[in-house]
Amino acid sequence: MSARVLSCMCIPNAMMESVPNRPLDYYTCAFRKTKMNRFLDCDNHEMYFTNTQRHRIVYEILAGTVYGKSKRAEVGVDRLINEGAYTAAFPLHEGPFQLPGFNVRPNELNQRQILYHYWALWCKWYKYQPLDHIREYFGEKIAFYFAWLGFYTAWLLPAAVVGTLVFISGVISMGTNTPA
């Protein structure tokens, strides 16, 4: 909404940034092998699932795998972590991470590099969040969380400014105004 107001007043929007490789916007449904021909890239077996969906599938397999006697509930990677067989379990990320150099074009960056370069840097704190890219890389729940966090922060900003002004005026008038 703020972008529309600024464009109507012909004011450039300093928060807007063009992020490359925007993910496709499409509807999703439950995966069924019988309806394979209705899915995008059904001929390409590497593109059946997104990275986030693959991570969840691998976690579900690891969480349900029996490694000992099922009567003693020796099931899953979480139990192995609790028993100390593993110290931690983390999701995999796509490819080695390299900072984008001067010779890399923006359309050649992978999702992780795009998120680092256009979102995770301190100098990008005032820019809009690339929620489509966050959804593509981390999943819907994390994207909804960051959308809510951005909305909440934006609505707290005016209250913080008013509170700071009231505090400064109180400090300035403290010497002359006893109740202040």
- Tens digits of residue pLDDT in 22-53: 777 766 677 777 877 777 777 777 777 777 77
Amino acid 162: pLDDT: 97
SS3 66: strand
From the CB of residue 134, how many other CB atoms can be counted at a distance below 10 Å? 21
Confidence bin at 100 (pLDDT 50/70/90)? low
Q: What is the distance between the alpha carbons of residues 110 and 106, in angstroms, rounded to a whole number?
A: 9
Amino acid 160: pLDDT: 95
Bridge partners (DSSP) of residue 75 are 66
Amino acid 180: pLDDT: 60
Q: What is the distance between the alpha carbons of residues 141 and 120, in angstroms, rounded to a whole number?
A: 18
Q: What is the distance between the alpha carbons of residues 140 and 65, in angstroms, rounded to a whole number?
A: 26
3-state secondary structure 130-161: CHHHHHHHHCHHHHHHHHHHHHHHHHHHHHHH
- pTM for this prediction: 0.65
Cα separations in angstroms, 147 against 5, 33, 53, 101, 123: 20, 33, 20, 29, 19
Q: Is 3 exposed, middle or buried (0-12, 13-18, 19+ CB in 10 A)?
A: exposed
Higher pLDDT, 14 or 57: 57
With 90 as the cut, is the pLDDT of residue 146 above it? yes
